Amino acid sequence: MIDECLAVEFEVGGDDCPLAAATRAVDVRIDSRPPQLREDGNVLLQFRAPSDPQLQETLDSDDRVRYLHVSDSRSEASYRCLSKHPCVVHELVSAGCMVESVQYEDGRALVTGAVVGRDVLQGVMERAGKTVGVKLRRAYQLQSQDEPSPSQQWDITPKQEACIRAALEVGYFSIPREATASEVADRLGISKSAFLERLHRAQRTLFEQLFL
């Protein structure tokens, strides 16, 4: 049985990987999946960012980037490419960090993931200390499986809970709003109408339980 699973956030500064370098040159935020190290030594990068010709030009001009593919939407684009540059994230993964996502902005990266146990966290930190500018920003214990989830506590469905979580993560509820309904829906892999319906049903259920 796993006694303790910790959610962690690492901040990476001083890394010269293509995505960090691109956000130093262009004022954008890049939301990336964990980079995948291939058997041929290349790194597969899959990420989303605002549709910006300057970003695409910056990546195209980077000699370390190969086979850049861009799929544009009205306000956001999906990118896919290979990189010949080794990624710091692989050092964290090798030490036992289960990386979930990487966010690049202003030349820095925010790595979110999880580790199992304090001993593993210590090992990850020791490995990180040998790399460029990696520091732990936050670590907190994940909810035990024995504890009820918000969907169980508040009588909403797991899909409705996922919509609320995704909306919170991308700033949909922020003032001013930092993400559109379409962007949250894309993150969830559902249609905009499905996202809004689940969100509104969840809000109604929560409000009824709180105020009626």
pLDDT value of position 49:
92
Looking at residue 29, its pLDDT comes to: 92
Are 44 and 112 contained in the same domain?
yes
Q: State the CATH number of the domain containing residue 170.
A: 1.10.10
> Which of the listed residues 114, 141, 168 is the one where a domain comes to its end?
141
- Which residue pairs from 59-68 have beta carbons closer than 8 angstroms and sit at least 24 positions apart in sequence? 59/18, 59/22, 62/18, 62/21, 62/22, 64/18, 65/18, 66/42
Give the pLDDT confidence score for residue 2 in this predicted structure.
45
Contact 102, 48 (CB under 8 A): no
Residues 36 and 57 in one domain: yes
- Residue pLDDT, tens place only, 86-103: 888 888 888 888 888 899
SS3 at position 190: coil
Amino acid at 104: Y
pLDDT average, residue stretch 3-17: 81
pLDDT of 143 reads 58
Domain end among 93, 116, 141: 141
Would the pLDDT of 148 be above 70?
Answer: no
Is the predicted pLDDT of residue 176 greater than 60, yes or no? yes
Judgement on whether residues 89 and 133 belong to the same structural domain of the protein = yes
pLDDT higher at 149 or 169: 169
Q: Do 88 and 70 sit in the same domain of this protein?
A: yes
Band (16; pLDDT cuts 50, 70, 90): confident
DSSP 88-120: HHHHHHHTT-EEEEEEEETTEEEEEEEEESHHH
Judgement on whether residues 68 and 87 belong to the same structural domain of the protein: yes
- Could you tell me if 129 and 29 lie in one domain? yes
pLDDT at residue number 1: 39
Residues 14 and 100 in one domain: yes
Domain termination site, one of 97, 112, 141: 141
Neighbour-count burial of 211, counting CB atoms closer than 10 A to its CB (0-12 exposed, 13-18 middle, 19+ buried): exposed
Q: Are residues 90 and 170 in the same domain?
A: no
**If you search the block for the tokens 């544009």, which residue do you land on?**
72
List, for residues 22-67, the tens digit of each pLDDT value: 999 999 999 999 888 888 889 999 999 988 899 999 999 999 999 9
- Clarify whether residues 105 and 178 are in a common domain: no
- The verdict on 102 and 126 lying in the same domain is yes
**Domains of the chain: total:** 2
Q: Is 168 in the same domain as 65? A: no
pLDDT value for 152: 61
Region 163-175 average pLDDT = 88
Same structural domain for residues 106 and 40?
A: yes
pLDDT of residue 72: 82
| pLDDT at res. 27 | 93
Give the model's pLDDT for residue 93. Answer: 84
Residue numbers of the domain that contains 200: 150-211
